[in-house]
Amino acid sequence: MEIAELARITGQFQFEGTFMRGNLYGSGHINDTYAVVFRLDNEKTIRYILQRINHNIFSNPEQLMENIKRVTFHLRKKIIEQGGDPERETLNIVPTRDDGMCYKDVSGRYWRAYQFIEDALSYDRVESNQDFFESGVAFGNFQKFLADFPAHTLHETIKDFHNTKKRFKRFVEVVKADICNRAKDVTEEIGFIMDREADADILVDMLEKGELPLRVTHNDTKLNNVMLDNVSRKGICVVDLDTVMPGLAVNDFGDSIRFGANTALEDEQNLTMVSCDLELFEFYTEAFLTGCGGSLTRNELDMLAMGAKVMTYECGIRFLTDYLEGDVYFKIHRENHNLDRAKTQLALIKDMELKWSQMIRIVNKYR
């Protein structure tokens, strides 16, 4: 983006100081993120996060920001009660000049801003067991602090986001339509997904029967959505709250395992490198349940391992669906990128199935 355009957009927010510069920041798939730098009167500088919300995916940015405002205010209250630092331990929205939560520019693009959390980083891949443990505690605390929040009052920022049953149904429709003539090249992957249709139903059915409680969930609980303090390496803040909405705690747990306990990158092309690291699975299970502080029900504990499998399955469905439709949802950086992502998920499921009894024993150890 041109520097003049970036300066014009930052002028719509209540930032301190004078705009100096801005650069693309982070590695997210969906939104465009910039770190913008301002000079204060004392010649010091301050950074903020400026993001363009992808309104093709998040069709109602105002509702999305209403969710984030309500949840972060609730978290801020809990953090203060616990003696924590609300400036670092939750996202803090920078309002627009007219005190709104987001700004719509002349091109119809939506923008929002946050205070920058200094001296902390997020990581795209597990670098140590302790880092993964800290992310688990952070996401567990997120569940604990929001356990008394009325989940049903939040907007669905993406309707049926983790409704795996509907994801499967749409996948079947996309395969039949085959608009890009790609299905013939991925018959093995399609068959793998079709053979596990029962996995698409189990958690959705339990929610509909009242056997699993509706909770405030993050719905994208990857390691890189937790900021780790540069000195202590403690997980200090859960970020990327675009998909915070009503959901299942077991899905939040499961998505962390899908991403963090995988021995390979999410888009690894060498599938022999893909497996579920049981040591990391155990580290995260202990951490998440420690953070939750006894707030999960018996049924939720029973279904934690299934959450890991179902979230991996669902993500495989989503990546392959996007590949078959011509790569319209997830950003890609090479040919067949979404297909590579799908293949890693399916390989991870195979490995989980081989280790299923061990995963169950690990959950039972810490429940």
pLDDT of 98 higher than 70: yes
Write out pLDDT tens, residues 249-288. 999 999 999 988 999 989 999 999 999 999 999 999 999 9
Q: Which amino acid is at 194?
A: M
Task: Give the model's pLDDT for residue 67.
Answer: 98
Write out pLDDT tens, residues 340-362. 999 999 999 999 999 999 999 99
Q: What are phi and psi of 266, to 5 degrees?
A: -65, -25
Please give the Cα distance from 273 to 304 (Å, whole number).
24
pLDDT of 2 higher than 90: no
Give a three-class secondary structure readout of 28-80. Answer: CCCCEEEEEEEECCCCCEEEEEEEEECCCCCCCHHHHHHHHHHHHHHHHHHHH
Three-state SS for 177? helix
* Domain range annotation of the chain: 3-118, 129-366
Please give the Cα distance from 344 to 267 (Å, whole number).
6
Task: Give the model's pLDDT for residue 31.
Answer: 87
Report the first-to-last Cα separation within the chain, whole angstroms. 49
Residue appearing with tokens 């202590």: 232
Query: To the nearest whole percent, how much of the chain has pLDDT over 70?
Result: 99
**Structure tokens that stand for 188 in this block:** 């093995």
* Global pTM value: 0.90
CATH superfamily name and code, 3-118: Phosphorylase Kinase; domain 1 (3.30.200.20)
Task: Please say whether the beta carbons of 253 and 286 come within 8 A.
Answer: no
Task: Please say whether the beta carbons of 51 and 31 come within 8 A.
Answer: yes
pLDDT of 182 higher than 90: yes
pLDDT of 29 higher than 70: no
Whether CATH 3.90.180.10 fits 129-366:
no
Task: Give the model's pLDDT for residue 274.
Answer: 98
